[in-house]
Amino acid sequence: MADITATQAPLALRCEAVRKAFGARVALDGVSLAVRRGEFVALLGPNGAGKTTLFQILSGLFVADAGRVTVLGSDMRRDPVRALARLGIVFQQPAIDLDLPVLANLRFHADLHGLPRRVAAQRIARLLDAFGLAARARAPVRELSGGNRRKVELARALLHEPALLLLDEPTVGLDPASRAQMVSDVRRLTAQAQAGVLWATHLVQEVEHADRVIVLDRGTVRFDGTPAALRGVAGRGDLESAFLAMTRAPAASARSTERSMPA
């Protein structure tokens, strides 16, 4: 993490007893979690655990049936414009204009956030340099590799300097080297900016160096703690075995392993 410790930094995100159902199917059942500024938190869960539904609520696409979400203290339901303005989002499915050049995509996003042109130009140049994309700035996104397209999306999400960065399965379709590079880039850049990160994934290898791991399974938080604590609680020597043991555990016993939310 960056200089400010997790216990000192302000909360970038707080979810309290969030519930969402689609007819008879309960997708989220009282989910509570928190992310502080400068903290890298991995949201680990198998497919169908509720990760994407949670992200759709956090990004304002869905409204929770119950519970409360705040971003830097701004309530998502009462003041969604202010809350959403403090978010940067990389969705699971690519959401970028493939026919526009890299530079045009970033300028368009800067205009949406009302950034002055001079400020936008400085930030774009800095991010392109940080991601090694300066030489491809005028290339259509379609010509980039999958890993570099994801870098453009990440640069776009960071352009307005959000307090919270949400990434929903951001490495889907990438090779192992590109996945590792993206994890490294996110940790480095968000630590510098003191942005909180909530990284949703089903890939255990992506959470090894997270500050905290939140295990979500069948719409319920099963665990919230460090990777080392997850291995210890599950009584397993490696994270993958611990994760499999945790997500197969009955809900009643698993809840006893949860950690209380930060104040």
Residue 20: CATH number of its domain = 3.40.50.300
4 compared with 82, residue with greater pLDDT: 82
pTM summary value: 0.86
Q: What is the pLDDT of residue 7?
A: 60
Is residue 147 in some structural domain?
Answer: no
Would residue 221 count as lying in a domain?
Answer: yes
Within a domain: 123: no
Angstrom distance (rounded) from CA 49 to CA 118: 43
Any domain includes 125: no
Q: pLDDT over 90 for what percent of the chain?
A: 63
Q: pLDDT tens-digit profile of 60-110?
A: 999 999 999 999 999 999 999 999 999 999 988 878 899 999 999 999 999
Q: Does the residue 144 lie in any domain?
A: no
The number of distinct structural domains making up the chain is: 1
Taking CA atoms, 217 is separated from 96, 189, 193, 223, in Å, by 30, 29, 31, 9
Please indicate, yes or no, if residue 190 is contained in any of the structural domains.
no
Give Cα separations from 204 to 24, 41, 120 (angstroms): 30, 13, 36
Q: Do residues 86 and 162 touch, judged by C-beta distance below 8 A? A: yes
Q: Tokens 């006893």 map to which residue? A: 256
- Does residue 111 lie within any of the structural domains? no
108 within a domain of the structure (yes/no) = no
Q: State the residue range of the domain holding 200.
A: 1-86+162-171+196-263
